[in-house]
Structure formats: C-alpha cells, structure tokens
C-alpha cells in the first residue's frame, strides 16, 4: 500500500480503521474506491484533513459503515493486437511489451527496450505504463500522436501504440488497442 500513497499520505488497514473511535471515523471522508496489486476487491479510500490543513489519505475495505459514494466502475477489457498476436487485459491484469522473451508481446527491434511498457486496467481505467529509454508514440481516436517516455498515460476508445518510433515511419512496430465493455 505504501507505493500507492503520495508523499505525506498514510494508508491504513481495515482492522486499524475499525479500531478508531466513532469521533475519529467521523473525520474521514470517502474519496474513492481503489484496487491494489494482487487484490481483486476494491478498497474504500478516505481522506482526512490534518491540523495543518494538508490532506492525508486512509484506506478501509469492506464492512465500513460509511455510505458508498459510487458504485464500482463497469468492467472493461483492453484488447491488444500486434502482427498475428492478440492479447486481452482485464481488471488488475498486466500485458507487457518489450524485447525480452519474458514479455507477453515480444518486439525484436533495437529501439524497443527489454521491458518497454505495460498495459494495465485498474478502477475501470486502461493505462499504458511506459518505462523505456526510447519512449512510445500513442494515438487515440483523433489520430493526434502523443510522445510519452517513462510516464503513464490513460487510454481511451481505440488507437495505436508505436514503441520507440513514430507510427508513420516504415519500420515502426504498430500495436492496435481497443477498450471494450467487459
């Protein structure tokens, strides 16, 4: 959970939350639902305004008395196609791309990093997590190409991913993606 917290934030477990007095619980405000790596269920995330005015975050899972702010997001799947390969990514799943044989989609080009990027879905949002040194070009719907390097980008609708090269170049390795209702 510590990897999820921003600097200065504290995430707490359900048992700690339940041990709080009613007064302490009353100072918490439901912020959102969150999925954590390795867990299928969504956890409630609460915020607390501290004495210095800086917001902090606390987490509690099922069984809390606080009224739910929103329903869980509808399930989606991310379909990824590269050459003759087809992969599907569901909630809390990963599809990796890169030169390494360990990747789900292997792209053997010198400008593609061993572990270039990862597709993932969390909280009903599809994301490309880019970790390469050469970057990735992403086109969604409108066709406008965006360059990302060592950052995350939310994916919408359908589009094209081109690791390390503009998609318009002849040697570009094009991945097509589409987000579909699950």
* Percent of the chain that is helix, strand, coil (3-state, to 5): 5, 45, 50
| pLDDT for res 174 | 98
pLDDT mean over 37-64? 57
pLDDT mean over 18-44? 68
Q: Which two tokens stand for residue 148?
A: 């990302």
| pLDDT for res 23 | 76
Number of H helices, E strands in the chain: 2, 14
Report the mean per-residue pLDDT for the chain. 81
Which comes out higher in pLDDT, residue 42 or 74?
Answer: 74
**pLDDT beyond 80 at 11:** no
pLDDT by residue (tens digit) across 135-148?
999 999 877 899 99
Q: Would you place residue 66 in the very low, low, confident or very high pLDDT band (cuts 50, 70, 90)?
A: very low
**pLDDT beyond 70 at 15:** no
Task: Report the half-sphere exposure of 118 (CA within 13 A, side-chain side).
Answer: 13
Domains plus CATH for the chain? 1-70 (no CATH), 76-181 (2.60.200.20)
pLDDT mean over 81-109? 96
| pLDDT for res 53 | 47
Per the CB < 8 A criterion, the answer to whether 96 and 87 are in contact is no
Whole-number Å distance between alpha carbons of 26 and 133? 47
Whole-number Å distance between alpha carbons of 170 and 137? 14
| pLDDT for res 62 | 53
| pLDDT for res 99 | 97
Whole-number Å distance between alpha carbons of 161 and 159? 7
Q: Would you place residue 64 in the very low, low, confident or very high pLDDT band (cuts 50, 70, 90)?
A: very low
């Amino acid at each position: 959970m510590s990897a999820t917290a921003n600097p200065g934030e504290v995430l707490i477990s359900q048992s700690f939350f339940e041990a709080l007095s009613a007064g302490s619980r009353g100072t918490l405000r439901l912020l959102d639902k969150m999925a954590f790596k390795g867990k299928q269920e969504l956890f409630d995330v609460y915020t607390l305004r501290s004495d210095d005015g800086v917001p902090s975050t606390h987490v509690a899972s099922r069984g809390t008395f606080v009224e739910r702010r929103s329903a869980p997001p509808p399930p989606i799947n991310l379909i990824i196609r590269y050459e003759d390969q087809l992969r599907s990514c569901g909630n809390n799943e990963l599809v990796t791309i890169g030169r390494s044989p360990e990747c789900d989609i292997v792209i053997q080009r010198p400008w593609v990093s061993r572990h270039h990027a990862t597709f993932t879905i969390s909280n009903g949002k599809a994301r490309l997590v880019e970790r390469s040194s050469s970057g990735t070009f992403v086109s969604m719907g409108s066709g406008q190409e965006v360059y990302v390097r060592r950052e995350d980008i939310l994916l919408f609708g359908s589009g094209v991913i081109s690791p390390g090269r503009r998609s318009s170049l002849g040697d570009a390795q094009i991945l097509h993606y589409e987000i579909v209702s699950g």
